[in-house]
Each structure stands twice: as structure tokens, then as C-alpha cells.
């Protein structure tokens, strides 16, 4: 009996025909609650939109409002040295180095002279290519300087389409990550890349050759104004060719950027301005 009473009590709670209440409230009460929430959410959405709108008004499309004062840009190499930062292949096995040369082909395609001539300007070397805005008048879009892959000579993939991989004298291509507004070098001295072996491998690295000569990033490619302002920007590259690296052994290599105004690896990021990888060329 008690059970029955409980049951009808529940039933009545859900729908009480006497008072015409659903879950303890009348239709108009429910209606008011619904109305309150609809108005409340519309108000919230409006507030959000307004705040967003005001925020976006204060942003400049062409320049980050806040930029980390990153004085040391990161450095990357191509071909990508994989998860373990290793480039390992066997000169006897085409398949083992094929992917590296293909990566370089793809990476360098935008640096084809024809592409560059179409997109970019021939700039005056050895000086910054500055295109400042005059006050609030934007000087956009900004032009960029040509970097023809021919500059990389033996590592351009033009004369030697295998970038030396086949002959055991491979090329590595290095670029600096883009930093908006960075003016590397001082007093007209361009930043340059140097590579060396970790101490225990210093006998094994052999002679290196840099392209362009001395491994410099010409000043004319700086400053960089950002993706939106400088749509056709081509990052300058430096190629390093290993002319006589010891084969069948691991060689640990580190390349770094040298510029009289770029501090190497700050406290915060020990890897800024340098890149390490292992190179191993097998011949048997
Ligand atoms: C330019 O790039 C294409 C691939 O995008 C390639 O097939 C062609 O050989 C390149 N030309 C030169 C002159 O390097
Ligand atoms: C890049 O190549 C194009 C086409 O060959 C040439 O006209 C231009 O002068 C070259 N640019 C530079 C900076 O060498
Ligand atoms: C970017 O390159 C295109 C060709 O791909 C060219 O028509 C355009 O003028 C270039 N823009 C700038 C700002 O250099
Ligand atoms: C390379 O560096 C050496 C010594 O620092 C200098 O004498 C030479 O002119 C440089 N070459 C180029 C092409 O910048
Ligand atoms: C290449 O390196 C080996 C030592 O690893 C050395 O004996 C040889 O003379 C070097 N060859 C050239 C051309 O420098």
C-alpha cells in the first residue's frame, strides 16, 4: 500500500492534474523561467560580441601587438633530421637517401630563379631593406628580396641533383626562424652560420664548405615585417656541404648563428640560435 502511495506521489509530482503543475510548476512559471534564460543568454552573447569587437579594433593586422622580446631566433635544418635529429643513410642504397634529396627538391622549389623573379625584387645587398610605414599610413604590401637557389651553388640541386648524398658529401640547408622586425648583425656585419663537431667527433667532421660564401645571411633579407605585410617573403638560406666526413661512424654536429648582436642560447632557451644533429654515412 505504502508503495502505491509513493508511486502516485511521484506521478503527481511529475504531473499534477489538480493544480495543473508539471514538476511542481505551472506552465506560466515554466514560461517565465524559459524567458529569463533566453534573455540572459542573448545578453551574454551580446556582451561577448561587443568585447571581442572592441578588442579586435585595437589589433593591427600587420603587426603583432605583443611580441616576445625574442632576441635569438631558432634554427632549423633541411632535410628534417627526424624525431631523433639524425641523418643516416647508406651511399650504396639509393632508397636510404632518396627521401632526403626529395625533401630538398620540394623545399627549394620556391627558390627557383623563375619563381623568385616573378615574386620578388633584386635588392641592394649588404644593407637592410627597410620599408617603414609613415605614421598611420601603411606601406603595404611590402616587397621582398630575391633569393635564387643558384646562390647555393653545389648545394642548389641544379648541377648535382642529389645534393652530394650519392657521393657521401651531403648538403644540409639551414634557415633561421622568422622574427618580425629583427635586425641581425651590427655595423653592416651580416650574421653567419658555422658548424662544428661535438668535441669527441672533431677529427671526424672533415672539411666543410658554406654557400653562400662564409655562410652569411645577407642583410637585405631583414627586417621581416610579418606574413600579412610581406606576403612573398623568402627566408634566406645557408647550405653546408660535408666534403670529407668520416664514414661508417656517428658524427655529432652543431651549427650555430654568429651575429654581433644576437646572444647565443639564453637561460630561457638553450637551443636558440643553434641546431644539433647526428650525421652518419654508411658505405657498407
Ligand atoms: C623549378 O621547380 C620545379 C618544381 O617546382 C622543377 O621541376 C624545375 O626543374 C625547377 N626549375 C629550375 C630551373 O630549377
Ligand atoms: C635570380 O634569377 C633571375 C632569373 O634568372 C635573375 O633575373 C635575377 O637577377 C636573379 N636574382 C639575383 C638576386 O641574383
Ligand atoms: C607576390 O607575388 C606575386 C606573384 O606570385 C606578384 O604578382 C605580387 O606582385 C607579389 N607581391 C608583392 C607584394 O611582392
Ligand atoms: C669571408 O670571410 C673572410 C674572413 O672573415 C673575408 O676575408 C671574406 O671577404 C669573406 N668573403 C665573403 C664573400 O664575404
Ligand atoms: C679526409 O679525412 C681523412 C681523415 O679522416 C684525411 O686522412 C684525409 O687526408 C682527408 N682528405 C682530404 C682531401 O682532406
Q: Which mutation among 194, 213, 216, 220 tests ligand 4's pocket best, with the greatest number of atoms within 8 A of CB?
A: 213
Average pLDDT of the residues in 68-84 = 77
Q: Which of 105, 109, 156 to mutate to test the pocket of ligand 1 (most atoms within 8 A of CB)?
A: 109
> For position 150, what pLDDT does the model report?
96
Of residues 128 and 21, more confidently modeled: 128
3-state secondary structure of 127: coil
Extents of the domains making up the chain: 2-57, 75-282
What distance in angstroms lies between residue 115's CA and the mean position of ligand 3's atoms?
10
Confidence of residue 138 (pLDDT cuts 50, 70, 90): confident
**Three-state DSSP class for residue 238:** strand
The fraction of the chain above a pLDDT of 90, given in percent, is 62
- Mean pLDDT for 143-159 is 95
Residue nearest to atom 13 of ligand 4 (CA): 213
190-217: pLDDT as tens digits: 999 999 998 889 999 999 999 999 999 9
pLDDT at res. 56: 86
pTM, entire model? 0.79
Phi and psi dihedrals of 279, rounded to 5? -120, 130
Rounded to the nearest angstrom, the distance between the alpha carbon of 243 and the centre of ligand 4 is 20
Looking at residue 21, what is its pLDDT?
Answer: 82
Distance 148 CA to ligand 2 centre (A): 6
Determine if ligand 4 sits within 6 Å of the CB of residue 125. no
Whether 1 shows a pLDDT value over 50: the answer reads no
| CA pseudo-torsion sign 100, 106, 107, 111 | positive
Distance CA 49, CA 164 (A): 57
Class of 75-282 per CATH?
mainly beta
Instruction: Answer yes or no: is pLDDT of 275 > 50.
Output: yes
Give the closest residue (by CA) to ligand 2 atom 14: 148
Amino acid at each position: 500500500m505504502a508503495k502505491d502511495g509513493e508511486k502516485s506521489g511521484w506521478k503527481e509530482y511529475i504531473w499534477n492534474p489538480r493544480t495543473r503543475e508539471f514538476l511542481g510548476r505551472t506552465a506560466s512559471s515554466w514560461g517565465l523561467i524559459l524567458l529569463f534564460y533566453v534573455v540572459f543568454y542573448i545578453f551574454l552573447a551580446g556582451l561577448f560580441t561587443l568585447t571581442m569587437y572592441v578588442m579586435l579594433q585595437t589589433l593591427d593586422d600587420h603587426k603583432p601587438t605583443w611580441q616576445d622580446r625574442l632576441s635569438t631566433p631558432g634554427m632549423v635544418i633541411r632535410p628534417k633530421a627526424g624525431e631523433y635529429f639524425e641523418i643516416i643513410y647508406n651511399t650504396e642504397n639509393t632508397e636510404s637517401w632518396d627521401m632526403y634529396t626529395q625533401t630538398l627538391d620540394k623545399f627549394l622549389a620556391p627558390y627557383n630563379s623563375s619563381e623568385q623573379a616573378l615574386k620578388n625584387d633584386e635588392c641592394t645587398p649588404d644593407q637592410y631593406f627597410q620599408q617603414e610605414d609613415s605614421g598611420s599610413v601603411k606601406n603595404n604590401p611590402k616587397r621582398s628580396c630575391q633569393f635564387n637557389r643558384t646562390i647555393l651553388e653545389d648545394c642548389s640541386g641544379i648541377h648535382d641533383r642529389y645534393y652530394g648524398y650519392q657521393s657521401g658529401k651531403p648538403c644540409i640547408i639551414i634557415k633561421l626562424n622568422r622574427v618580425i622586425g629583427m635586425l641581425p648583425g651590427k655595423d653592416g656585419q651580416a650574421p653567419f652560420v658555422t658548424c662544428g663537431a661535438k668535441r669527441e667527433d672533431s677529427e671526424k667532421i672533415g672539411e666543410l664548405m658554406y654557400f653562400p660564401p662564409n655562410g652569411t645571411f645577407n642583410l637585405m633579407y631583414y627586417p621581416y615585417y610579418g606574413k600579412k605585410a610581406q606576403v612573398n617573403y623568402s627566408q634566406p638560406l645557408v647550405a653546408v656541404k660535408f666534403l670529407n666526413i668520416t664514414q661508417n661512424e656517428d658524427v655529432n654536429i652543431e651549427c650555430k648563428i654568429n651575429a654581433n648582436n644576437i646572444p647565443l642560447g639564453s637561460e630561457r632557451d638553450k637551443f636558440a640560435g643553434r641546431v644539433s644533429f647526428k650525421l652518419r654515412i654508411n658505405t657498407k
